[in-house]
Structure 1
Amino acid sequence: MSNYKAPVRDIQFVRNEVLDFDTHYRGLGLHDVNAELCDAILLEAAKFAENELAPLNRSGDEEGCQLTANGVQAPKGFKAAYEKYCEGGWPSLSAPEEFGGQGLPGSVDMMVGELMGQANQSWSMYPGLSGGARATIYAHGTDEQKALYLPKLIEGAWTGTMCLTEPQCGSDLSFLRTKAEPQGDGSYRVTGTKIFISSGDHDLAENIVHIVLARLPDAPAGTKGISLFIVPKYSPNDDGSLGERNAVNCGALEHKMGIHGNATCVMNFDGAKAFLIGEENRGLACMFTFMNGARVGTAVQGITHAELALQGAWRYASEREAGRALTGIKSPDRPADLLIVHPDVRRMLLTIRAFAEGNRALAHFLIKYIDVSAYSKDPDLVAKGDKMLAMLTPIAKGFMTENGLEAANLGMQVFGGHGYIREWGMEQNVRDARISTLYEGTTGIQSLDLLARKVMGSGGELLNLLAGEIQASLADLNDDEFTPVLLKALAEWQTITAEVGAACADDVNELGSAAVDYLMMGGYIALAWMWTKMAVVAKQKLSEQEDSFYRCKLATARFYFQKILPRTLTHAALIRAGAESVMSLTDDDILSYQQ
């Protein structure tokens, strides 16, 4: 039986006490959405995650998926859990009401998604990508496509995938070769191979809707010649019933480091019947609807892996006895003291906690802007929200997944040798966490997007907008403990930005060399902002009554500022060291190197 416990109180703290989602929803005209409703949904999601999904996490990892003559079979119990998921109406939470959804904001869906990902990341990926497929069809599909595909995706009878990567092209899609041939009747035939397709084939749902990038005949070279297509596993009839089996199949299952319970497939399209979404040769722009949502979803995995590490390591360190406290024996009636007496163990535990809870606050703060984009009637507010999303999304995706992986490794470290053993779950958490920094754009790609496109590309506008929001927020918080430290770090980030801009005017490699350190520096500042918000609330609550929950919050905030935020100084030094040593070897030197 799994020991996973949904972090309900901390989610309620972030949403209700720190970020005031009630006021947020009222401001968007969502008067039926409030803390009472969200708490009820959260508690039901917690039950489902703890009782249905968490018990399948280890067994799914050990069993993995099987490729049979009839397609891919998910691990035992996964299909039954998915049926209960659909019966509970979970796929429809934030889907549009006109197609059978419940019409709740995406921030509610993210709250639920966090718990399901923590309980069983591999399982949660099967329905997880369906939201992106729905959003893409809703944003770019025809009325007929919406009417045919959305109701089934929303009820969960069908799931969705995102098919971009090919053997010869990953992040650089200009090498994409999959072809789409028009058939003269409004349909196309798609031929090609896609790899690394999460949930590409399985037995959980009756149909799978693949969202596929492909090239039309005579399309322009590069990314400007890519179009987007719907390719269903079974071609649906006009009434939504299943028609003939389409020419798309799983050719192989990828052999992966982690997330073994999810079917990551090599998908072969052999003249599969397909339908264009959006305009010809504008497929990449349409696919960004899917990818941007997936990047936020991947950022949430940074919470997932830090939270799992926190629960496992905190519990273990509170029960395991080893060594004696440096200040003297704490448990004289026992042969050793608890692990928690050791400063280094506490360092690891507090680092994990700072990332888990800081990431949670940042993710919920970010998702507010997605709500604004979807529901606000104020064009100026929507424009501002879109700019904040543009700035914060690469930071969240890159930084949160990197520190989630760090937290997972620290969680294993707290266990010592036991952490390397499967039965404790810490090594699975590390293996599952590793992919998060890679897919939906590696940390390096997120960093280039942030520095080159968002910051430099906007002439500093997006950075100044974020900095202004931080400064205004800190003025409202009126805190003299954390604010001066954060403002100093923010000013240094702005100074570094100007220095990098000047340096890359002479050598663009300066930008590429600085990008990851720049993103990480921004991430530590963003998390410090969230911890300041949480600390101010904790101080206020503690002034009213003693509560260990708020004491832990305040202690973790102080730990973050004293022990983690100073990492920005190292990143600043690395940026200022420039690109010379990075680029000092010639291409010939590297190509001629042999062991």
Structure 2
Amino acid sequence: MWHYAPPLRDMRFVIDEVLQAPAAWADMPVFDGLDGETAAEVLAQAGRFAAEVLAPLNGPGDLAGCRWRDGEVTTPAGFAAAYRAFVEGGWPALACDPDCGGQGLPQLLNAALYEMLAAANHAWTMYPGLLHGAYECLHAHATGDLRERYLAKVTSGEWLSTMCLTEAHAGSDLGLLRTRAEPNGDGSYAVNGQKIFISGGEHDLTDNIVHLVLARLRGAPEGTKGLSLLLVPKWLPDGARNAVHCDAIEKKMGLKGSATCTMRFEGATGWLLGEAHRGLSAMFLMMNAARLHVGLQGLGHLEVSTQNALRQATERVQSRAPRRPAGAEAAPADAVIWHPAIRRTLWTLQARAEGGRVLAYWAAQALDEAAAHPDEAVRAAANDRAALLTPVVKSLLTELGHAGADQALGVWGGHGYIHEMGIEQVVRDSRIAMIYEGTNEIQAIDLLLRKVLPDGGVRLGQLLDWADAQAEGAAQATRVRLGLQAVRDCAAGLVSGAEVDAEWPYRAADDFLRALGEALLACAWARSEAAARAALAGGAPDRAFYEAKLQRAQFQANYLAGELPRCLMAVERARAELPFLPAL
């Protein structure tokens, strides 16, 4: 009953016509020779893998789950074979440096790949989900034998990697970590401690697992400034098993095919990555990549929920609707799709998914420009844009992904609550994306308190100027620009208001992030509308696609645009001091 069809047509529209990425690639020598047709073929092959290999394993993997026995983990049937096919296809190395064995393709294409993987099978995608972040970390910080021994294996995906941060008493507050690392006298360290919630800490997909572990060296300062990053492999270079133990796997609400492990390091041998006491900055290379990928998970949940809800609403016959629009013979007269409430839900889901795709791909394109553009000023501007877009993409798209799956479930009625329909699994799987890699509340604080207020909103103003330019040529440009100005004014009020009430930005952060996200979604639709109009004016043969795109742009402007003023009002309401809750 459940299916996934890669949205290749819309992906090409966003990449080729909205972002005009092929022209941008031509300005970056590292992407020399890459054109739209080549990119389309990469996406088609990735979509085939997602739809034909991963999607059929999703429901069965959820029912089977992972099994733990004597420290070993067995993944659901088919997961290991799918991972071997993934590596053989070269997918882990897609956006990695060719000097390290990578293919050197843009982060933008890697983002599209991971959107499809997560939509098809989120639990399976958790295993390679940290690979690119681990590659970035090793590429930047591994030297000598460490680089020679591990970088190529991680780049190719032959060895998977983990990110070991969380401890039972220290979730988001990493300064409380207790894991210790003592020098062995030969350049290595003995790592002692326990980590929890470690995705892929143990599994049967690869021969070795490269754990990247935050720990505190002897004599290190307290807090986050005293943390160091160490590479701790499951198997040591001499073939001996390292003292790394999986003590248990969690029984979770969702993602049951993903092994979430409790890991114990008992004098495990590890090597320092980067400088001592600067482990958190090294780890952020991995975390920032992961946060974009988590946003793409939200987008994948929203896309696959929309597809299946639309099909269900078209096929399900129940309670004749008041009327069927003239000329609409695509579904029976008594299909639930003709009920206004269902149509509004479906329009909302589709508009959110397509607008969210533009927003996520903008962030990925900014990463490409920040890393590869030959003009230093362009690189700096793109880096600032990516820094602001990343928390918005992570938070907004995971929120929309979970809320969208929840809304979509209603299209099935009571049947949606049953596992065989597929949608209840998405509701369960999608919830964690709002929590891990920094909760959405932390993303909001990161955006407002660390990236907007410190410079008085200068970088935010530059992002809003850039977004304003994206609306050029759209029928809704004036309305979109008014929204951007409202966000600018809101930020200015928070900058000045924080001097009087230092807690106000904390109370307002969630709503401010959502306001910025809604303003950017409106810009995404304005840009999409302008691109669709240009295609129709140029005689594009696929008129139905572009006309439907214009209809959804109009729906965004008329119906969903009301979300922005509600968010801004919530920011203003947060100015009032909240009373403390009474003691229980």
TM-score range, shorter chain: over 0.9
Query: Equivalent residue for 1:472?
Result: 469
Query: Displacement of 1:214 after TM fit?
Result: 0.2
The range that moved more, 501-510 or 544-553, is 544-553
Q: Percent identity?
A: 41
CA distance in 2, matches of 1:492, 1:251: 52
Query: Displacement of 1:181 after TM fit?
Result: 0.5
Matched, 1:185 2:186: yes
Q: Give the secondary-structure state (helix, strand or coil) at the position aligned to 1:566.
A: helix
CA distance in 2, matches of 1:65, 1:222: 35
The range that moved more, 448-457 or 571-580, is 571-580
Q: Give the secondary-structure state (helix, strand or coil) at the position aligned to 2:559.
A: helix
Query: Equivalent residue for 1:420?
Result: 417
CA distance in 2, matches of 1:350, 1:473: 23
Q: Give the secondary-structure state (helix, strand or coil) at the position aligned to 2:247.
A: strand
* Partner of residue 259 from structure 1, selected from 246, 255, 261: 255
Q: Give the secondary-structure state (helix, strand or coil) at the position aligned to 2:128.
A: helix
Structure 1 contact 214–229 (Cα < 8 Å) conserved: yes
Q: Give the secondary-structure state (helix, strand or coil) at the position aligned to 2:443.
A: helix
The range that moved more, 151-160 or 343-352, is 151-160
CA distance in 1, matches of 2:90, 2:241: 28
Q: How far does the alpha carbon of each residue in 1:237-261 deviate from its partner, in whole angstroms, 9 at most, with x for none?
A: 4xxxxx1101111111112111111
Q: Give the secondary-structure state (helix, strand or coil) at the position aligned to 2:499.
A: helix
Structure 2 contact 464–484 (Cα < 8 Å) conserved: yes
CA distance in 2, matches of 1:345, 1:95: 43
CA distance in 2, matches of 1:70, 1:249: 6
Matched, 1:282 2:283: no
Read off the aligned partner of 1:478 and give its amino acid letter: G
Matched, 1:99 2:90: no
Q: Where do 4+ consecutive residues of structure 1 move more than 3 Å?
A: 327-332
Query: Displacement of 1:394 after TM fit?
Result: 0.8
* Partner of residue 363 from structure 1, selected from 348, 360, 364: 360
CA distance in 2, matches of 1:358, 1:454: 24
Query: Displacement of 1:517 after TM fit?
Result: 0.3
CA distance in 1, matches of 2:11, 2:179: 43
Q: Give the secondary-structure state (helix, strand or coil) at the position aligned to 1:400.
A: helix
Q: How far does the alpha carbon of each residue in 1:549-576 deviate from its partner, in whole angstroms, 9 at most, with x for none?
A: 2222111111112111211111111111
Query: Equivalent residue for 2:140?
Result: 139
Matched, 1:553 2:554: no
Query: Displacement of 1:236 after TM fit?
Result: 2.1
Q: Give the secondary-structure state (helix, strand or coil) at the position aligned to 2:130.
A: helix
Unaligned runs of 5+ in 1: 238-242
Q: How far does the alpha carbon of each residue in 1:34-61 deviate from its partner, in whole angstroms, 9 at most, with x for none?
A: 1121111111111111111110000100
Q: Give the secondary-structure state (helix, strand or coil) at the position aligned to 1:440.
A: coil
Q: Give the secondary-structure state (helix, strand or coil) at the position aligned to 2:464.
A: helix
Query: Equivalent residue for 2:25?
Result: 25
Q: How far does the alpha carbon of each residue in 1:499-522 deviate from its partner, in whole angstroms, 9 at most, with x for none?
A: 222222111121111000000000
Query: Displacement of 1:377 after TM fit?
Result: 2.4
Query: Equivalent residue for 2:436?
Result: 439
Structure 1 residues 225 and 415: CA distance shift in structure 2, 3 A = same
Structure 2 contact 225–278 (Cα < 8 Å) conserved: yes
The within-5 A match list for 1:149-188 is 149-188=150-189
Q: Give the secondary-structure state (helix, strand or coil) at the position aligned to 1:249.
A: strand
* Partner of residue 572 from structure 2, selected from 569, 576, 589: 576
CA distance in 1, matches of 2:211, 2:361: 29
* Partner of residue 459 from structure 2, selected from 457, 462, 465: 462
Query: Equivalent residue for 1:240?
Result: none
Structure 1 contact 322–336 (Cα < 8 Å) conserved: no
Query: Equivalent residue for 1:300?
Result: 296
Query: Displacement of 1:539 after TM fit?
Result: 2.1
Count of residue pairs brought into register by the alignment? 579
Query: Equivalent residue for 1:204?
Result: 205
Read off the aligned partner of 1:485 and give its amino acid letter: R
CA distance in 2, matches of 1:472, 1:363: 18
Q: Give the secondary-structure state (helix, strand or coil) at the position aligned to 1:215.
A: strand
The range that moved more, 321-330 or 246-255, is 321-330
Query: Displacement of 1:473 after TM fit?
Result: 2.9
Query: Displacement of 1:524 after TM fit?
Result: 0.6
Query: Equivalent residue for 1:59?
Result: 60
Query: Equivalent residue for 2:580?
Result: 585
Q: How far does the alpha carbon of each residue in 1:385-420 deviate from its partner, in whole angstroms, 9 at most, with x for none?
A: 111111111111111111111111111111111111
Q: Give the secondary-structure state (helix, strand or coil) at the position aligned to 1:202.
A: coil
Unaligned runs of 5+ in 2: none
Structure 1 residues 158 and 314: CA distance shift in structure 2, 3 A = same
